Amino acid sequence: MQDFEAQASLQVADSRVVSAALAQIEPSYPRKGLVLGIMAIVAFGAGVGGALLREFSIGGFTSEDQVSAVLNVPLASVTPDQAGSEVEKPHGRGLSDTIISAPLSV
């Protein structure tokens, strides 16, 4: 029993220092080049996706030049955009009143 207690109290080192630790030349995490590369691809994809979404969500022709370029015919007339004004007047008919009140305007 005494031998067992003597062996139990005796501590033997299981590890040893092979060489001193050295500071790293560059950090192992985060990898800046990899993160910047992935984010550049994500930003490019988001930009192209946003451009496609805008292109397909606007719809229709947005300018006189676009009509002439796509249809290859001269433009006969332009209807003014009434978005900012009172399109539906309580006592009027909106665009028709504008055409009647100023027949030679754009």
CA distance readout (Å), 86 to 81, 99, 103: 11, 14, 18
Q: How far apart are CA 16 and CA 25, in angstroms?
A: 25
Number of domains, the chain: 1
Indicate whether 42 belongs to any domain.
yes
What pLDDT score was predicted for residue 102?
Answer: 79
pLDDT tens string 38-53: 999 999 999 999 999 9
As a whole number, mean pLDDT of residues 71-75 equals 82
Q: Is residue 43 part of a domain?
A: yes
Tell me if 53 is assigned to some domain.
Answer: yes
pLDDT attached to residue 84: 54
Within a domain: 38? yes
